[in-house]
Chains A and B, each alone.
Chain A
Amino acid sequence: MFTFIIRRLLFLPVVFVGVTLGIVLLMQLLSPTQRAASYVTSPQQLANVEAIIKRYHLADPWYVQYWTWLREAAKGNFGYSKVAKMPVLKAIGERFPSTVELALAALLPIVGVGIWFGTAAALNRDKLIDQVTRVMSIVGWSLPTFVLGIWLLVIFYGALNWFTPGQITGKHAIELANEIANGTFHRYTHFLTIDSLLNGRFDIFLDDLKHLVLPVITLAAVSSAQIMRVMRSSLLDALGQDYVRTARSKGLAEVVVNNKHARKNALIPVLTLSGFTIIGLLGGVVITETIFNYPGMGSFIANAATQLDYSSVLAGAVFIAIIVVLANLVVDVLYGLVDPRIRYN
């Protein structure tokens, strides 16, 4: 197991070079003027495009640009993000904690609801709960995030005014900014939930949780539908296997057969899917973030890509690649725990 993990981690530098080189080469398909477009935001700047190309070395050959970037990256300088308006590493440091908070808050309902309903549906095949689950999964699966998000916003913010979009209400934002400036609120971890608790600000903690409700419902409705379907079909498949029949013929109680013998095996594809889900959530969820004005990684990387923000795209891609490798590693390790047949030696 240990050598397997090391082997996987050694793969990271290869991914780093592959991803960054790929992006640098892709950017060469654009002319220096096209690359200068991200610096030109008002018609007034149009007259200075030539000077901008010169100032930011946009016409240098690709290997010079790549070498400059690598050299700076080795020193820990990944460049300035034009989209985030701060150094790229700082931007990731600011946004990733928010994304992790949202991802963790969403993961529990996504996986919990998915597994619970999927199991109930499989065990009660063609009964009411199965029919309901199937309808729920089809609706959830086919409902576009932006439609559900806007509905939730209109109902729970517009009509009822229960939940506001953003990460924190205006009043708390002002208080927090003043307290941070005065040194009375410390940002130990950059996770707002944790920091508010560490600073004894339960009101801010609750406020942050409250702001997670609508995005979590939106994400859970869509993503749990997938898990529900996979769980149901995988469990049905397992229930028809010989070893389940054997377990039953041994006289084991139905609960034990279902939970210990069938469900454990049925969880393997769910685990894979959950791995992909968490990768997706950690990489950011653009539409949900935009609708609920949630400052996560998704909108950052999407904006960087559309605005050709070179440094952010490079660093963002490296970051996502690392998450994908690590999340896959975790899922692979978990396989071994769930299924004793899988060993990595």
Chain B
Amino acid sequence: MKRVLILVAVAAFAMVAFGQSAKDTFVWQTFGGVDTLDPAMAYDTSSGTILENVYEPLMGYKGDSASEYAPRLATGVTVSQDGKTVTYTLRKGVKFQSGNDFTCKDVAYTIKRDLVTNNPASAIWFLAQPFTGSAANASDALGKDATDADYAKYWKMIDGAVTCPDDYTAVMHLHAADPAFLAKMAFPAAYPIDSKWAIANGAWDGTEATWRKYIGQDGHNTYLNDHASGTGAYQLVSWTPGQRVVLKANENYWGGAPAIKNVLYQIVDDQNARILALKNGDADRISLGSLSALSQVEGLPGVKVYNRNGDLGWTSVTVGAVSMNEKIKADNNPSIGSGKLDGKGIPPDFFTDVHVRKCFNYAFDYQAYIKQVLLGMGNTINFLLPPSFLGYDKNVPEYTFDLEKAAAECKLAWNGQLWSNGMKLVISYNTGNLQRQTVADILKSNLEYLNPKFNVEVRGIAWPDFLAAQRAKELPVYISGWAPDYADPDNYVTTYYDGENGYYAAYEGFNNAQMNQIVRQAATETNPEARKLLYSQAAHLAYDLAPYINLPQQRPMMELRSDVQGVYLNPMYSGQFLWKDISK
């Protein structure tokens, strides 16, 4: 037995391979997983991370800026007076990784393919809007009764979306001016794909004869789902779903071969394993997962936590809110109790009274949330728009935690009935989201402290049930979040404040004519100064109407080995920085 043990120990030592990834290799361990490598389908950050290094935009972001653009596959761009014609001058001499030349044909094919497929689970909806005037694909936009003539007309619009006067000039013809157009074109769905290669491998052939077969196509399970041919600094070697993506440097990259030659994007779902890998140098970067694990990473030799104290000035572009539903489903809804203001439930129009919403806004302890949940690493916001975005006005007042004011507002609500009769309220969150659960708990304890007749239940609901209940408008109070698709304030403000077109606004029944008008005017205003003013007006109005409790934002941080050089944060990149810009 002893001999066996010794043998095992010796064998173990013999097999030891000490960590530290090679100098020209970058290993990033994260959780979740890549969904697809087809730019027309990808809508998650993991897929985005790979795509933004393999493919390239025409005009990309300049360094860490989310508002300035720098030439990539285009050397310049001009927008016509009416904002409806956008002309890109394309870079010459660029080749795809397959060896094919990059020309305007590829730009046109990419955009047209996006507009044709426009799968409802993809990101194409916001790219389709400026080109066709509708977020939906042809069959959803035209409806069941559409005739062949309707489709032919629609095809004409798609076919005319991009024209190529020559190989190196791409002209985009928009349905209406869109101040967010350049930002939308910086999303991976608009990154030119290699048309020759795509068509040769079974993608849509680009003709009118076949386009209808591809409407709404789910790009999973096609060749482009797990193969890539871009112009980017990295080339796909292999993708093993759920485990890893291996990439190598594109030595023919037009911008010069990158310093990092191999990239390993590894999926490691266990947080402990990721932290140990960073410690041992097996990973150069990890996605931490939960903020509470930060203490395990801080102080590890050879590890650097970027922006730990906000020293780099990085700010978050994610916003979160507590929604207060003004049009709760009245019938057969288990979340509103008696459905009356009798202390045993709430009426379906409970939140139409602005005093209730203000009371809730004052009853949320913002600093406690920053302290307990964000461990001190957070900031409050006065509008559901990140402070780094155009139009955020820091002079707009914001709600602070004040139980006296909360009580005063609640006493005014429903002509004093709320205060005298009390309420039974349900706050919902999707299970597994601890941050949201804590938000609900903070609000519950403060509301119940205000008045002993206030009875609040915090209810965790599994994601499928949460989604169904939210869509059925059954949830009186729930917590939501939003991260940007494109770097434009409209992406947030319409979503949260346009009562007819905004996803969250429509679902929570917040519909204010004045607000709708300001938001829509801002969405099409091409003068930045005028836009700023409009968003400031919207923020002031939002303060008065208090449709949401604006949750504090978490400070963005990154955990890397300290020998990685050139790290920056561009909030619009799924991977925060491009691998071509770093070295070790």
Contact = CB atoms under 8 A, between A and B. Distances in A.
Interface stretch (A169-177, A234-242, A322-330): A169-177
Nearest to B32: A41
Interface in B109-127: 119-121, 123, 125
Nearest to A35: B464
Contact of B242 (A42, A85, A173): A85
B16 A162 contact: yes
Given A43-B482, A49-B467, A153 B241 contact: no
Nearest to A303: B242
Given A161-B16, A162-B12, A85 B43 contact: no
A94 B243 CA distance: 11
A84 interface: yes
Count class of interface residues, chain A: 35 or more
Interface of A: 30-31, 33-49, 51-52, 54-56, 80, 82-87, 91, 94, 150, 153-154, 157-158, 161-167, 169-171, 173-174, 177-178, 180-181, 206-207, 209-210, 213, 290-293, 295, 299-300, 308
Contacts of A51: 120, 136-137, 140, 216
Interface of B: 12-13, 15-19, 21-22, 25, 27, 33-36, 43-44, 119-121, 123, 125, 135-137, 140, 216, 218, 220-221, 226, 237-238, 240-244, 246, 248, 262, 264, 266-270, 272-273, 276-277, 279-280, 282-283, 463-465, 467-468, 470-472, 480-483, 485, 503
A178 B241 contact: no
7 contacts: A33-B467, A39-B121, A45-B121, A154-B272, A174-B262, A210-B15, A295-B240
B273 A153 contact: yes
A129 B302 CA distance: 47
Given A33-B471, A47-B503, A80-B221, A55 B119 contact: yes
Q: Which of B137, B264, B268, B276 has the most CB of A within 10 A?
A: B276
Contacts of B246: 173-174, 177-178
A170 B220 CA distance: 27
B467 A171 contact: no
Given A165-B270, A170-B282, A40 B264 contact: no
A291 B18 contact: no
A74 to B, nearest CB: 18
Contacts of B267: 293
B480 A290 contact: no
B244 A157 contact: no
B22 A171 contact: yes
Contacts of A30: 464
Q: Which of A55, A153, A162 has the most CB of B within 10 A?
A: A55
A85 B241 contact: yes
Contacts of A33: 464, 467-468, 471-472
Contacts of A45: 43, 120-121
Given A48-B120, A174-B246, A295-B243, A85 B270 contact: no
A319 B262 CA distance: 37
Contact of A84 (B16, B238, B241, B468): B241
A116 to B, nearest CB: 11
Given A45-B121, A84-B241, A293 B22 contact: no
Given A37-B463, A153-B276, A210-B15, A48 B125 contact: yes
Nearest to B472: A33
Nearest to B215: A55
A52 B121 contact: yes
Contact of A161 (B18, B244, B270, B480): B18
Given A41-B43, A47-B503, A157-B276, A55 B238 contact: no
B382 to A, nearest CB: 21
Contact of B266 (A170, A178, A291): A170
B12 A170 contact: no
Given A154-B272, A206-B15, 18 more contacts: A31-B468, A37-B463, A46-B503, A47-B503, A48-B125, A55-B120, A85-B35, A157-B276, A162-B13, A166-B266, A169-B17, A170-B27, A170-B283, A171-B22, A290-B269, A291-B272, A292-B270, A300-B242
B12 A213 contact: yes
Contacts of A291: 270, 272-273
Contacts of B21: 170-171
A168 to B, nearest CB: 9
Nearest to B280: A161
Contacts of B15: 162, 206-207, 209-210
B268 A44 contact: no
B237 A181 contact: yes
Contacts of B266: 166, 170, 173
A43 B121 CA distance: 11
A153 B503 CA distance: 44
Contact of B19 (A42, A43, A161, A167): A161
Contact of B36 (A37, A55, A85): A85
A331 B237 CA distance: 44
Nearest to B45: A42
A165 B264 contact: no
Contacts of B35: 41, 85
A308 B19 CA distance: 38
Contact of B221 (A87, A164, A171): A87
B465 A34 contact: yes
A207 B120 CA distance: 43
Contacts of A293: 267-270, 273
Contacts of A166: 243, 266, 268
Contacts of A43: 480-483, 503
Contact of B238 (A40, A82, A181, A300): A181
Contacts of A34: 464-465, 467-468
A169 B218 CA distance: 34
Given A165-B273, A171-B22, A293-B268, A40 B467 contact: yes
Contacts of B276: 153-154, 157-158
A154 B277 CA distance: 11
